[in-house]
Each structure stands twice: as C-alpha cells, then as structure tokens.
Structure 1
Amino acid sequence: MCGIAGILSSQRYLGATDPRAIVRMTDAMRHRGPNGEGFWSDREAGITLGHRRLAIIDLTDAGHQPMHSSTGRFVITFNGEIYNFRTLRQQLVDLGYRFRGGSDTEVLLCAIECWGLESALKRSNGMFAMALWDRNTRILHLARDRMGKKPLYVAKIPSGVVFASELKAIHACSAADSDLSLPAVAALLSRGRVPDEHCIWSNVFKLPPAGLLSLRPEDLSDQVDLDKIHCNIRTWWSLSGLAQRSRMDPLPDPDADLIVKLDEVLRAAVRERMVADVPVGAFLSGGLDSSTVVALMQAQSSQPVRTFTVAFDEQAYDESSYAASVARHFGTDHTEVRLTSADALDVIPSLPAIWDEPFADESQIPTLLISREAQKHVTVALSGDGGDECFAGYTRHVVMARVAHLLGSNRSLRRTAAKLAARVASGTYARFANVVTLPSLGSPLLQTARVSRFAKILAASDERAIYDEMTRLSELSLALSGEPETGNDGPELDEPLSQFLFRDMAEYLPSDILVKLDRASMSTSLEARCPMLDHRVIEFAWRLPTNTKIRNGQGKWILRQVLARYLPRHQFERPKQGFNVPIGAWLKGPLRAWASDLLSETRLRKQGLLDVSLVKSCWRDHLNGTRDHSRVLWAALMLQAWLDSVAASPTDSLAALPRPLPTQTFNMHQG
C-alpha cells in the first residue's frame, strides 16, 4: 500500500517539467508511504513518476518503486495489493519467467508483459491504483481496481496532466488551478459525500472503479480540456454486466449447499488477505460482518488474531461489550479504544486535511481513531466493509423488500396513501405523538420523521426515486445552487431490491464507505483490506437467490448461517446498529460552540454557498429538540471546516520550494 503520483507533459512542453514538482507531490503523501520514496523520469518523453512506499510484501529493496519490468519496456508506480500474486507468479514461472524479488508489483509487471495489460488486470485479484508507462509506445496507462478501493485523481494543467492518490498531492503541483464545483457541494449537502463522478474541485476528476485511461503527450494539446480526457476512459471490468448476467443465472443449489459454498469463498478471500510480511489484525465491532471476518481469520491462524474496537460512553451507541464477547469466544488479542466527545473535538480539526474533499459520514471519527490505535500494533487490518452491499444488510434493503409490491400497484392509490401518511407526520400528529405510538418506530420525534419519509417513499414514481429518498440526509436542501445529480441509470435487473443493491455497490460504496476507510487508515500508514469485496465474493453474492439475503424480515440471512458455524447465535443475533456516533447530542453539548462559530450568519453570507435562513432554522430546531437535524448539519459543518482549511492552506503555500532533490532515489532517464 502506497501513494503514487505523476506528470505527463503535452507535446508542446516535452522536457520542461521541473523534477521538484513530483517531489512536492509525494511529500504531500508521506503518510501513505513512510518506508521509502522513489522517482523516475524520461524528460524527452514527457513522463515523470513518483512513489511513496508502505512496505507490506517483500520489505527489501527489490520492492522499490517506480519499478521496471525485466525487459525494461514498462515502468510502474503502484498502490495496493495483488492478493493472488503467488498463484500468478507460479503460472509465470511455469511459462519460463524468472523473478528478482518477492513483491506482488513485480509479478503484476511480468503478467503485463506476458498477457497484456487488460488480461493481466482481469487475472488479478486485488485493490489498486496504478500508473504504467510503456516506453515502446510512449503511452501512459492509468488503472483502478474493480470496486474503487484505492483512489486516483487526475487534473488538467497547462503543460499536460497530473495524477495522484490524493488531492493534496495534486495541489502540491503548483500549476493546478482550484475552482469549487457547485454540483459537488450540493451532493455533499444532500448525501453527505461527494459522488465518485464528481470532485470538489472542478478541474479534477476521479478515475472510476475498473477505469482504464491511456494517454500520450500528443493527446494533451492546449485545446484538450478535462472533459475530452475523461471521455477516453474505458472499463476493463463491469459491475453492471456482472449484475445482469448473474441475476439471469441464479445459483440453483439448496440452502445448505449455498451456505457451505459461501463459507469456502469467504475463507479463501480472508486467507489471501492475511498474507503479509508485517503484522496483521482486524477491526471488530461485534457486528455480523466484522465477526465473520475475525472468525475466518482465527480459524486459519495458529496465533491469536489482533482485534480492535471502539467503545462509547453513550450506551445507545456502544457495541464494545459485543465485540469483547466475540473476542473472548475466538481467543483474539483484543484492544478497546474509548471515544468521548472530547476525543471527537480533538480530532475534528484534522478531518479536512485527511479527507481532502469535504466528507460528512460521521463514522469517519471512530474509523480514524481505531486506525490510529491499530497502527501501533499492526500494519495491516482486515475490515468487514462490503458485507451490507453484498448481502442486503441495510435497513433500506429490508424496507424495499417489504414495499416492492407497492411499486406495481395503482399509482393514484399510492399517491392517496402518501397524502394520508404525510398528514400522520404533520404537526397535528406531533402534538399527540406522546400518546399514540407506532410499533418499532422509536421515540415520538423519530416516529414523525420516519412517517414523513415513508410518505415520500409511497409517492415516489419508481425504485430509483425511492432509493434517492431513502439515502438523502434530509428532505431539506441547504445548498443555494448546483442541485445534485442522481446516479447513472444502471442495468435492467429483475427486482427493486437488486436495483438498490446495485446502486449501493456502484455509488455509495466507492464514494462513502471506501473513501472513509482508505483516508482514515492511510492517514496513519495502516493498510485496510476488505475480504467481503473480493470479486469472487461479489460474483457469488449476485447469483444468490433473493430469499437467501432477506428472509423473515431480516437481512444477510445467508451470512448469518455462515457465522453460526463458528459463533453461537445469541452473540450476534440483534438489531443492526452500524458504526454510528452520537453526533446529535454532541452538537447540543461539547461541540456546540465549535458548530455555532462555523454556522454564523456572517460567515455563511460571505461564502454564499448555503441557504442562511434554512441553516439557522435547522440549527435552532436541533438545539431546541424540535427536530433531529444532526446529519444535514454535520454535512454543512464539514463543508465549513473544509473551507476554513483551504483558506488557511492555499495552493501557493503548498507549492513552496521543497527540500533538496533526493538524488539517491531519483532515477532520471536521459532518453
């Protein structure tokens, strides 16, 4: 796991790149690779590559990057892991290839020489972002893994393009302009995240999951803008195609056989992710996904697995006792990190710099703190992320399964039902909510909000509109302009639940869950691995019959059966809690002064991005306890904190002269 960066000059600027620019870029990502640095350039060809190394496989100099292929044709800077590199290596040895070292990067380079780039990618099981320079054709290839676990940003500059693992590295290259994207701001305030198809800076785009972009210096004339470059992206693997094919060919096996097969697929995914030349551990929340990963790790380990969890003082959010119970059952070496509001206040100032883009999933705070603690003991940590998307674990999946039949009902009937539900959630209902309660909807305040949301779901025209409603932070839009776009249409699938799972996997996963995990872990030089997102697990999950995912009103049925083979049911059969924090209570208490300052009317009017009166109303209602606006307020606060961070660290200061060139590690090709 590493940080990568590079510059490709246009034909007009060949030979003009200042090598100090790449040093600035990699210096900005030192946290992603504290174990070494490397640079390579062919100024005549217009290419410069940089690398920061976090050594995981082959800790010797044989793993140094940028790395050359054995023939010298290819040069690569690679961030990530190829989990099946040992299998690929043996196949290549059988074909007569020989290796200098033991790294997965060398195996990938050899695979590219043997089978070609796209074939090598399709044979690889891993998480990665990479830049490959072909010295014969003078073409730069940028590629990203199937699910978008590892990031790669691309920006157009006057002299060509720059690319890097993080935005801060892009901005460390002084030629990169910075214009705010209003659609990205609107999306943040609506969804709590900047979608993968957007970037907070309008002159930058993210290479999409399974994206492959090939560029030559002559492709980068002054007339070529970012949109034209983006149009050249192709995909080497298709989640949409996989979902369509799989739903047309579901697995016919009985439940018992499917449970055994899923166990085997997950075991293999976990086993491959335990391979490392450094200590390996796991995040353990006590929930279904992380408990399954830990169970399969311990079943394949001769030593106690190191596990890490977060504890909260607020009982309603604390799962640490469940995690401790699971750890005792499996005999893991368990560490508990306690998170208080004071800890949150301490870490909040660092959030904008760590995430680069404003990011408003409040579980970023415990994810960051548990990563910091884990890194003190291990260099690699396995995570249960991806289980909800694969096996229908979110509440919205269960709700969709329940209301799917309504989509085919009479439209006017649904509109009438929606109006009735809206009246139930009106002020009249709120006055009597303490007397009249609805089962399983929680407090009267929560009941009102949930019934109001259900009314909008009933009024929605199709599953796309229902999904948008269910994943919106609030019915309120705080942005003054730049209405957020909905996701791509996606494939035609057999049922509404499959549509939900596809959008979660194609949109929510890469722009929220994986962004949270990557930035939090890599900011501490910790590599996080996700067995549930092994492409073999994903392929298996898409072929599963729907009733093996949701059964008897409960999600992840089949995953529960797998875990029951290792852990007594009473230790994991409970309502889903999620990795949440009591942000609503904290905003009323210890975070109130900080939030009030960021949401001051003077500040908001000067920036001109948010609806001032609406923000004031939300803040007032939240403090009074009239409505819980914590999620949309947190999005606004993360935007404000990020804007403050940008103002305090303008691009000019990032482009200041760096340390002297590291001549020992800079390999400058002279053509």
Structure 2
Amino acid sequence: MCGIAGFFHTRDNYPGSPQKIARAMGEALDHRGPDGNGIWVDEGAQAAFSHRRLAIVDLSNAGHQPMTSKSGRMVICYNGEIYNSKEISAELTTLGVKFRGHSDTEVILEGCAHWGVRRTIKKLIGMFAIAIWDKSEKQLWLVRDRLGIKPLYWTIAPEGVFIFGSELKALRAHPKCPYKVDRNAICAFMRHNYIPGPFSIYTNINKLQPGSILHLSIQEPSPKIETYWSINNIVSANRNRYFYTDENQALSTLESILTDAVKRRMVADVPLGAFLSGGIDSSTVTAIMQANSTQPISTFSIGFEEDDFNEAIHARAVAKHLGTNHTELYVTPEQAQNVIPQLPDLYDEPFADSSQIPTYLVSAMTRKHVKVALSGDGGDELFAGYNRYFQARKMARFLNSLPSSVKSITGAAIRAFPQSFWDTAFKLVPDTKRPSQAGDKMHKLSRVLNSEGDEFYRRIISHWASPNSIVIDGEEPKGIIWQSSLKNSIPDFTERMQYLDSLTYLPDDILTKVDRASMAVSLEARIPILDHRLVEFSWQLPDHMKIRNGEGKWLLRQLLYKYVPKNYTNRPKMGFGVPIGKWMKGPLKEWVEDHLSESMFKKHNILRPTPVLEKWQDHKSGRQNWQYLLWDVLMLHAWAERHHPNGVL
C-alpha cells in the first residue's frame, strides 16, 4: 500500500522545477508510505511521478517506485496489492520476460509492456490505483480497481496541466491545481454524508470511478475514460443467466471463492492480522484465516461502555472460540474525542460517517502490532446484510396497501413521541429481535411513510432530505440514485438498493473511511469479501439465498456456522458507531456550539443557519436525536476551518 501522485504538461513546458513539485506532492502523502520515496521525471514531456512506499511484499529495493520497465519504454507508479501476481509472473516468464525482483509492481509493469494496459488490467485480482507513462507515445494511463478500494483523484489545471494523486492534499500541493469549492457537491454531501463520485469538494477535481481507465497524450490531451469492469455489466449479464438453485452447490462455491480470496490476502512479508467485530462478515473472514494458519492469528477490536455501541464482548467470544491471539481496547470518550480534530486532515473533503472515529482508533491500535489487517467490509452490499434492505421491502409492500391519509397520520403519531420513548418501548422486545437505536429508526420510518419505490430508498439513505434548501447557491447534482430506468433493468427492489449502494455508498463511504483511517497510521487494510470474483458470484444468487426469515446474508451465515456456532453471532446488526449524539450534549457541547456559532455560518457562508440551529435546539432539549444531520454540518464546518481558514469562497 502506498501513495501516488504526478502530473503531465500537455502543452508547452511549464516554467518551474518538476522535481520540486513532484517532491512536494509526495510529501503530502508521507503517511501512506513511510518506508521509502521516489521521484521520476520525463524532462522532455514535463511529466513526473512521485511515490511513497509502504513495503509489504518484497521489502528489498527491487520493489522501489517509480519503476521503469526492462525495455525502458514504460514507467509505473502504483498503490495497492495484486494477489495473483505469481500466476501472472509465471505466464510472462513462459513468454520470455525476465524479472529483476519479486514485487507485484514489476509484474504489472512488464504485463503492460508485453500485453498493453487494457489486457493486463483485466488479469489482475486485487486493489489498485495505477499510473503508467508510455515514453514512446508520450501517453499517460490511470487505472482504478474494480470496486474502488484504492482512491484516485485527477484534474486538468490551467495551461493544460493534468494532475493526479491518491488524495486531494497531493493535488493541492501542485502550484497550478485549482480548488474552488463546489457548492453543488456540498448539496450531495448534505444528503449522503459523503460526496459521491465522480464529484469531489472542488469544482474541477474528479474522482476516477471504480473499474475505470483514463488515458491522454500529447497528441490527444483531452482525457478519455472507459470502463473495463462494472457492477452494471455484471447485473446485466446475470439478469437472464444461470442462477444457483442448489443451496449446497452455492455454499460450496462461496466457500471455495472466499477461502481462496482470504488465503491470497494472507501473503505478506510483514506481520498480519484481522479486524474482528464479532459480526457475520469479520467473523467469517477471521474463521477462514485461522483455519488456514498454523498458529493463532492476531485479531483486534475496540469497545465502548455504552451497550448499544459495544461489540467487543461479541468479538472476544468469537476470538476465544476460534483460538486467535486477541487484543481489544475499550475506548474512553476522551480518546474518541481526541480524534475529532484530526478528521479534516484525514479525509481532505467533508466526510461525516461518525464510524470514522472507531475505524481510526482500531486502525491505530492494530498498527502497533501488525502492518496488514484483513477486514470484513463488503458483506452487507453483496449479501443483503443491511437492515434497510429487507425492512424496506416489507415496509414498502405494506405501505402501498394503505391510503395516503393513514400513512400521514401514522407518521405524525410516531413523531409525537420522542426517540427516547421508542428506545424505552423497544426494551420490551427480546434481545435477539431488538434493533439498536430503535428511537432513531422509528423516527426515520416516520419520515419515509409517504414515499414509494426508489423514492423510498432515497429517503431512507438521505440525511438532509432537501439539501438545496439549506446550501446557499447550491443545486444537488443528479447522480446514480436518481436513475429512472433502474426499475426496468433491476425489477427487484432489494437488488436495486444493493446495486445503488455498491455504486455509491460502498466506494465513497465505506471504502473511503477504511482507506483514510488505515493509511493515516500506515496500516494496509485488505478486503477479501470484495474480491471481484465474489462480487460476480453474489449477483448470480437468487434472493432467497441472501434474505430468509427476516435476516440478510443467509448464505454467508451458513458458511460461518461451519466454524462458529449460531449463538455467537445471532443478534441484531449493530453497525460500527459511537454515541456521538450523547457526546454532543455533553463533553463535545462547547466544540459543537463553536462550530454552529453565528460567526461560523457567516464566515463560510455555505449553509443557511436557521434549519440547522432549530435541529440543534431540538437535539439539546432531547425532543429529537438529530445526531447524523448535525454531524454533517459539524464536519463541513470543521473541514472549512482547516482547509479554508479565511472562509470558503
């Protein structure tokens, strides 16, 4: 895992030192790669690469980047890991290619030199953000992995300067990089709590979308983007294809693919472990790791004193059953709150998933023991694990049978009681059926009662339901969640939700959170469930192998039960959060008031203060729990203070 950055002057040579600029861009990414750095410059084309290395496999200098191909024609600057590099290396060796070392970097590079970029990329199993420079053609290629595990930003600056990097801070280190705040992107942020690609917080800076290749050259300086893999194509291909009908065959295939994915990700020349929450996904990954290890693997979890947020006791039980070497940390409010000032630097652009706090804390603890950690992310999107999938479908069917007047009355009745009332009422429900944060879920339900179909989904995932009304001079861009044709191509409502989450929420929230939190402490996070072969398999499964008896991940659960008894994981899904709403009214109150002050709203002039302050008053009084919507505003203002201290223009 590493950090990459670079630029290419598509017009006349830019006056200045390419080496100096490239060095500054790389230094902005020091945290991503503390084990080494390198700069490469093509003086004739005014192109430059900068690399920061986190050495995991082949720790020798043979893996140093940027790396030039044996022929001298191609140069690579790459971030990620390729898990089938040995097979590709063997294939190239039979074709006469001689390797200088054992790094996957050289395998990609020589593959591109021999087969070309497009053909090589399709062979890769792994996570990656790749830059390739073709000296002969004066051509630059950028490639991002299929699911968007590794980030990659790009822009065309004035005077024809093409700039790219792993994080926005690297682009901003280039003196020509434009960074005008995009108020339309802020609208999208206020709806989602993240900025969905291809947008970024800046008007002219884009995220390269997952599964994409970008290329440009001196002769063709306008970037051309093509898709080499997409979930849309996978869904379309499987719409009229064979679906698994035999459950035993499906389970056997799942076990085979996931076991191979896990084993491939256990290869490292440095200490390795796993995040373990005690939930279905991380427990399955951990169980397979332990079954394929000759000694206890290292597992890590964090806990909180608040029961609704504490998964540590469940993780401990699973770890004991599997026999792992388990480490846990119970986080105090003070420890968690100390992370908050770091968040604007970690994420570069507004990002308000509050689980960013525990993700950073567990990464920091894990890094003290190992350099690589396997994660269970992705299981919810692939195997329909989110509560909203099956609850929304059931609720949508029920609501469609009710008159609008009844739905309105029901919604008003739910909101008439504060969230604390519903939290107390649901304590009468058995533990195995009781949802966490029941009051919040009931009030969210009340706000979506009058919607149908895809609008129902949009309201479920929305934070601020009408962001245009709160963002000054902003208009929400119509992204993927507004597609009107999805109902025809994906008739099943649950599958449409999975599809949309895989295109937006997964890369731009979940994977962004994991990448930034782990890279901030120079920890490589590997995600076996998002092996693209497993993604393709999951879209061949019928619905009843994902959702059954009111629970998601049915098939994945059957695999886990081969290793861990049901009672260890048979409980409502908790998520991975912190009691941020409670802290806002307690130890964080002064910080909150500072970031919601009249002077803060006036200084940055991003949001209309009235609707925000109304929600803050409701929250303080206990009438409502607006923690998620308020956290959006707080993270936006904290980001603005850090990156635009004189005010957002």
**For this structure pair, what is the TM-score category when the shorter chain's length is used for normalisation?**
over 0.9
Out of 237, 242, 258, the position equivalent to 1:245 is 237
Which one of 351, 356, 369 corresponds to residue 377 of structure 1?
369
Secondary structure of 1:199's partner?
coil
* Structure 1 partner of 2:284: 292
3-state DSSP of counterpart to 1:378: coil
| Residue identity matched to 2:404 | R
Counterpart for residue 208 of structure 1 = 209
Q: Which moved more, 1:560-569 or 1:95-104?
A: 95-104
Unmatched 5+ stretches in structure 2 = none
Picking from 340, 358, 365, the partner of 1:348 is: 340
The CA deviation at 1:376 is 1.2
Tell me the CA shift for residue 420 of structure 1: 3.2
Partner amino acid, structure 1, of 2:35: N
**Higher mean Cα deviation, 336-345 or 529-538?**
336-345
Which structure 2 residues correspond to residues 266-277 of structure 1 after superposition, within 5 A?
Answer: 266-277=258-269
Written as runs of structure 1 = structure 2, the 5 A alignment for 1:57-206 is: 57-159=57-159, 160-206=161-207
Structure 2 letter corresponding to 1:565: K
Matched residue, 2:445: 454
Q: Which runs of 5+ in 1 are unaligned?
A: 221-227, 652-671
Q: Tell me by how many angstroms 1:649 deviates.
A: 9.7
CA distance in 2, matches of 1:161, 1:303: 49
Worse-superposed segment, 430-439 or 133-142 = 430-439
How far apart are the structure 1 equivalents of 2:379 and 2:545?
14
Aligned to 2:602, which of 599, 602, 605? Answer: 605
Cα distance in 2 for partners of 1:574, 1:430 equals: 25
1:414 deviation in Å? 5.1
CA distance in 1, matches of 2:30, 2:314: 36
Residue of structure 2 in register with 1:421 after alignment? 410
Deviation at 1:138, TM superposition (A): 1.0
User: Conserved in 2, the CA contact under 8 Å of 1:5 and 1:26?
Assistant: yes
* 1:339 has 2:331 as partner: yes
Tell me the residue number matched to 2:388: 396
Match of 1:257, SS state, is helix
- TM superposition shift of 1:314: 1.3
* Kept in 1: contact 2:41–2:49 (CA 8 A): yes
Q: How many residues align?
A: 636
Letter in 2 for 1:473: H
- Residues 1:434 and 1:461: Cα distance change in structure 2 (over 3 Å): closer
Q: Deviations over 1:404-442 (max 9, x none)?
A: 5469x57xx553443232332353x66996899688697
C-alpha offsets along residues 229-258 of structure 1, whole Å, 9 cap, x if unaligned?
4xx211111210101212322433411221
Q: Residues 92-116 of structure 1: CA distance to partner in whole angstroms, max 9, x if unpaired? A: 2222222110000111112212222
Q: Does 360-369 or 90-99 show the bigger shift?
A: 90-99
Return the alpha-carbon distance in structure 2 between the equivalents of residues 169 and 431 of structure 1: 43
Counterparts of 1:529 and 1:209, CA distance in 2: 17
Partner Cα distance (2:443, 2:154) in 1: 41
Could you tell me whether the CA contact under 8 Å between 1:182 and 1:482 is conserved in 2?
Answer: yes
Deviation at 1:347, TM superposition (A): 1.2
Aligned partners of 1:404 and 1:423: how far apart in 2? 18
Distance 1:29 1:241 in 2: 34
Matches of 1:3 and 1:546, distance apart in 2 = 39
Q: Which residue of 2 aligns with 1:470?
A: 460
Give the distance between the partners of 2:331 and 2:199, measured in 1 at CA.
Answer: 32
> Mapping of 1:576-655 within 5 angstroms?
576-648=573-645
Tell whether the 8 Å contact from 2:6 to 2:163 is kept in structure 1 after alignment: yes
> SS at the partner of 2:243?
coil
Quick one: percent identity of the two aligned structures? 41
Q: Aligned pair in 2 of structure 1 residues 102, 568: CA closer, same or farther (>3 Å)? A: same
Q: Which amino acid letter does the alignment assign opposite residue 149 of structure 2?
A: K
Give, in whole Å, the separation in 2 of the partners of 1:211 and 1:233: 7
Q: What is the CA-CA distance between 1:510 and the residue it aligns to?
A: 0.6
The answer on whether the counterparts of 1:154 and 1:204 sit within 8 Å (CA) in structure 2 is yes
CA drift at 1:185 = 1.3
Distance apart, 1:613 and its partner CA: 1.3
Alignment of 1:184-583 (within 5 A): 184-220=185-221, 229=223, 232-403=224-395, 405=397, 415-427=404-416, 447=439, 450-451=441-442, 453-463=444-454, 465-475=455-465, 477=467, 478-488=470-480, 489=483, 492-583=489-580
Assess, with a 3 A threshold, how the Cα gap between structure 1 residues 255 and 601 changes in structure 2: closer, same or farther: same
Higher relative contact order (CA 8 A, sep 6+): 1
Q: Secondary structure at the match of 1:58?
A: coil
SS across alignment from 1:136 = coil
Change (3 A) 1:139 1:443: closer
Distance 1:192 1:335, change over 3 A: same
- In structure 2, the residue matched to 1:18 is 18
Q: For 1:639 and 1:437, how far apart are their aligned partners in 2?
A: 34
CA RMSD of aligned residues (A): 2.4
Q: 1:552: Cα distance to partner? A: 0.7
- Give, in angstroms, the shift of residue 157 of structure 1: 1.9
Partner secondary structure for residue 38 of structure 1? strand
| Cα distance in 1 between the residues matched to 2:422 and 2:133 | 66
- CA offset digits 1:11-59 (Å, max 9, x no partner): 2226755320000000010111111111111111221111111111111
Contact 1:8–1:217 (CA under 8 A) maintained in structure 2: no
Is the CA contact (8 Å cut-off) linking 2:3 and 2:53 kept in structure 1?
Answer: yes
Q: Distance in 2 between matches of 1:504 and 1:608?
A: 31
SS in structure 2 at match of 1:520: helix
CA distance in 2, matches of 1:192, 1:101: 43
Distance 1:511 1:9 in 2: 29
The equivalences for 1:44-63 within 5 A come to 44-63=44-63
How far did 1:161 drift? 1.2
The 8 Å contact of residues 24 and 173 in structure 2, kept in 1 or not, is answered as yes
The change in CA–CA distance for 1:510 and 1:444 in structure 2 (over 3 A counts) is closer
Q: Aligned in 2, Cα 1:434/1:198: closer, same or farther, shift over 3 Å?
A: closer
Mean CA deviation greater in 438-447 or 309-318: 438-447
SS of the counterpart of 1:89?
helix
Is the partner of 1:137 in helix, strand or coil? coil
Q: Evaluate the alpha carbon distance shift between residue 479 and residue 414 of structure 1 in structure 2; reply closer, same or farther with a 3 A threshold.
A: farther
* Whole-angstrom distance in 2 between the partners of 1:48 and 1:126: 25
Work out whether residues 417 and 455 of structure 1, in 8 Å CA contact, stay in contact via their aligned partners in 2: no
| Cα distance change on mapping 1:588 and 1:485 into 2, 3 Å | same
Show the counterpart of 1:661. none
Aligned CA distance change for structure 1 residues 17 and 595 (closer, same or farther; 3 Å): same
SS of equivalent residue, structure 1 residue 128: strand
The CA distance in 1 between the partners of 2:418 and 2:628, in whole Å, is: 21
- 1:125-176 Cα shifts (integer Å, max 9, x gaps): 1101011011121110011000111111112222311111111111111221
> For residues 403 and 98 of structure 1, what CA distance do their matches in structure 2 show?
60
Question: Do the aligned partners of 2:374 and 2:528 also contact (CA within 8 Å) in 1?
Answer: yes
- Give the Cα separation in 2 of the matches to 1:485 and 1:601: 28
